[in-house]
Structure 1
Amino acid sequence: MAFRELSFPSFNQNDTIQAWIYTPIRKPRGIVQLVHGFGEHSRRYLHMILKLNEAGFVVAADDHVGHGKTARESGNWSDWGDKGHLTMAEDEHTLRKIVQEAYPGLPYFMYGHSMGSMIARQYAAVYGDGVDGVILCGTSGVFPRAEEIVPALEALVAEGKGELVDPSYLVNLMGWMTERYENPVTPNDWISGDPDVVADHASDPFNNFTAPPNLRSLYYFVLMMQTIVGKQWAEKVPTAIPFYNIAGDQDPVGQYGEGVYAVSNWLAETGHKVKTKLYSGYRHEIHNDRDIRDEVEDGMIDFLNSVMEKVNK
């Protein structure tokens, strides 16, 4: 595996996005753009990136504004800017143009996990033309409490308080997520049933659950969630894009499977081809759980290959 590190200006006109393009040692067959989740960074996916490289795929990934190396370089962990809820999708579009210019003519796919799956869904509705397939991992249907928190955040932003950091709003949005688990040890036990994965997440200096987004950024986050629900969202996504929708059935982000199937049903009801797979007994980060990560990645590669066969005919 070889890689190139690069940077480019964010859509928010303030930050500089840090990104990487990982290339296989053999002639590449396609491109997978990897979109990471909330409070983490893209190099937590190196196991997956290596598997995708070995299968012949170029992998492009960045760290979002307020996340990972992008935030580490700028010192800005809390402010996603003031350019709206499409900021991260627009940054992904910039990266897409860079990687497709470097590797023209290859089939192009997007993989998004958690918040990254929300960005991928938003992206497909705005920039879906030319996308050959989308993999959603740990996605959400109608996210609990998102709708009820919007008016309060909207009012605070309108009052000029958007740059304030108030952790209580993030706790209100996400603090319920271990309620179904017996004897949770940490507030982040929803990430995985493997305590080593949870501990690794907590100790990673490029992760960030200790400095929450400011009120305006959190407002953008919940607005993003509201743009990707229902058939009204799915109708904006080109029907030519096939989807592979995967999650653990004990993942609160996906409402324990119910939200995952809701997304698949919205797509199916609007004429999209979608395959859904739930991993029984597993929580949010199925791609990092050592018991099943190879199985998860092999399923992704099978999906990519099946699409490639049709694209190359």
Structure 2
Amino acid sequence: MSFQEKSFKSFNEQDTVQAWIYTPIRKPRGIVQLVHGFGEHSRRYLHMILKLNEAGFVVAADDHVGHGKTASDSGNWSDWGDKGYMTMTEDEHTLRKIVQEEYPNLPYFMYGHSMGSMIARCYAAAYGKGMDGLILCGTSGVFPNVAELVPVLEKEIDEGKGKEIDLASLDKLLGWMTKRCENATTANDWICGDPDVVADHANDPFNNFKTPPNVRSLYHFVKMMDSIVGTQWAEKVPTSIPVYNMAGDQDPVGQYGEGVYAVSNWLAETGHKVKTKVYPGKRHEIHNYRDIRDEVEDGMIDFINSVIEK
């Protein structure tokens, strides 16, 4: 495997997004664009990236504004800009153009985890043309408390508090997520049942929960969640895109399976081919459980191969 570092101007016109293209040693068979989740960064997926490279796929990944190396280089962790909830989606579109220019005419897939799956769903609705497949991991149906938070955050922005940090709203959005974790020792135990993964997440300098998003950024986050609900979202996604939707059934983001199946049902009801895989007893980061991560990645590769073979 070899990789190149890339950077490009964010849609928000204030940040420079840091990105990477990982190339297999054999002739590439396709492209997988990897979209990471909230409060983390794309190098947390190196196991998956290597596996995809081994299977013959170019992998393109960036660190979103307010995240990872993008934020570390700029020092800007809390402000995602003032260009609206499509900012991260537009940045993924820029990265797609960069990787497809370098590797034209290859089948193109997008994988998104958690907030990344929400970005990927936004993306497929806006820029689905030419996508060969979509893989969702740890996605959400109707995320709890979003409807109540929208007017609260709107009011704060109207009052000129957009750049302030509102910990109460952040807690309302995410604070409930360890409720079903027995003997939870940290606020992030919902991420994985493997305490080493939770500790690694907490100690990673490119993950940041100390400087949370400001009011305006949090507002854009919940507006994005609001834009990918129901069949009115699913019907914007081209029916030509097959979808593989996977999660753990103890994942609060996916409402313990209920939200995961809701997303699959919205897609099925609007004429999409969708395959759903739920792992029993597993929490949010199914791709980081050491006992199943190979199975999770093999499932993704099988899905991609089945699409290419058709």
Counterpart code for 1:62: D
Counterpart code for 1:113: H
The answer to whether structure 1 residue 27 and structure 2 residue 30 are counterparts is no
Residue 252 of structure 1 aligns to a residue whose secondary structure is coil
Per the alignment, residue 132 of structure 1 pairs with 132
Counterpart code for 2:55: A
Counterpart code for 2:223: L
TM-superposed CA distance for 1:130, in Å, is 0.3
TM-superposed CA distance for 1:169, in Å, is 1.2
Partner Cα separation in structure 2 for residue 257 and residue 135 of structure 1 = 16
Per the alignment, residue 145 of structure 2 pairs with 145
Q: Which structure 2 residues correspond to residues 1-313 of structure 1 after superposition, within 5 A?
A: 1-310=1-310
TM-superposed CA distance for 1:256, in Å, is 0.2
Partner Cα separation in structure 1 for residue 101 and residue 14 of structure 2 = 24
Residue 79 of structure 1 aligns to a residue whose secondary structure is coil
TM-superposed CA distance for 1:167, in Å, is 1.6
Partner Cα separation in structure 2 for residue 165 and residue 215 of structure 1 = 6
Normalised TM-score (structure 1): 0.99
Residue ranges of structure 1 left out of the alignment (5+ in a row)? none
TM-superposed CA distance for 1:41, in Å, is 0.1
Write the deviation string for residues 222-255 of structure 1: whole angstroms up to 9, x where unpaired.
0000000000000100000000000000000000
RMSD in angstroms over aligned alpha carbons?
0.4
TM-superposed CA distance for 1:165, in Å, is 1.1
Partner Cα separation in structure 2 for residue 90 and residue 170 of structure 1 = 24
Counterpart code for 1:8: F
Partner Cα separation in structure 2 for residue 158 and residue 57 of structure 1 = 46
Residue 143 of structure 1 aligns to a residue whose secondary structure is coil
Residue 210 of structure 1 aligns to a residue whose secondary structure is coil
TM-superposed CA distance for 1:161, in Å, is 1.0
TM-superposed CA distance for 1:45, in Å, is 0.1
TM-superposed CA distance for 1:160, in Å, is 1.6
Counterpart code for 2:154: E
TM-superposed CA distance for 1:182, in Å, is 1.4
Partner Cα separation in structure 2 for residue 267 and residue 6 of structure 1 = 34
Partner Cα separation in structure 1 for residue 68 and residue 182 of structure 2 = 31
Normalised TM-score (structure 2): 1.00
TM-superposed CA distance for 1:159, in Å, is 1.8
Counterpart code for 1:217: S
Counterpart code for 2:232: Q
Counterpart code for 1:292: I
Counterpart code for 1:34: L
Residue ranges of structure 2 left out of the alignment (5+ in a row)? none
